[in-house]
Amino acid sequence: MSDAADFERVCSVGDVPPGALRSVTLSDGTRVCVGNRGDSFFAAFDRCPHQKFPLSEGELAADGTVVCSWHGAAYDCTSGQGVRGPKRDGGGRDEPFGRLHLCAVEVRDDDLFVAAPRTSLRPPTPDLRPLPS
């Protein structure tokens, strides 16, 4: 088991039934998609690598892939690897695009804990100082 300081409680096990995806927010504001494969849980940043659409609004397929509901890109939830590219206008598909940023998950009693990422996916605060003349 990893150091407890690296993990934070995100929800109860019962909040993510088998075959479901759920969006949770870590203490630093980062959104994470938590999924239940029936025999194990996984977590990844809640943004599709293709167009940054929330993965938690997609589906968890029986083969263990997370399918984005916007363009249908699919990613293996154990490796993060893209396995099917997004749909193109006209019905074709592009090559697999990018990979998921996976987070470590632990089940403790009836609670799910996710390792807080080392870097947040929140957009940086813009520097609004005037440029030097």
In this structure, is residue 49 part of a structural domain?
yes
Three-state secondary-structure class, residue 74: strand
In this structure, is residue 133 part of a structural domain?
no
In this structure, is residue 44 part of a structural domain?
yes
**52 has a pLDDT exceeding 70:** yes
What 8-state DSSP symbol labels residue 130?
P
- Cα 128 to chain centroid distance, Å, stands at 31
Longest dimension (CA), the chain: 61
In this structure, is residue 123 part of a structural domain?
no
In this structure, is residue 125 part of a structural domain?
no
In this structure, is residue 127 part of a structural domain?
no
Whole-structure pTM value: 0.79
Contact 68, 55 (CB under 8 A): yes
> What are 69-74's contacts with CB under 8 Å, separation 24+?
73/48, 73/49, 73/97
Span 70-99, pLDDT tens digits:
888 899 999 999 888 777 766 666 776 788
In this structure, is residue 65 part of a structural domain?
yes
Candidates 15, 13, 16, 34; CA nearest to 24 is 34
CATH code at 27? 2.102.10.10
In this structure, is residue 28 part of a structural domain?
yes
How far apart are the C-alpha atoms of 132 and 119, rounded to whole Å? 30
Number of domains composing the chain: 1
How far apart are the C-alpha atoms of 103 and 18, rounded to whole Å? 19
50: domain range? 4-115
pLDDT for the residue numbered 17: 96
**37 has a pLDDT exceeding 50:** yes
- Cα 97 to chain centroid distance, Å, stands at 15
pLDDT for the residue numbered 129: 54
Q: Cα–Cα distances in Å, from 64 out to 24, 35, 75, 116, 122?
A: 20, 10, 8, 23, 27
Span 108-122, pLDDT tens digits:
999 999 986 655 444
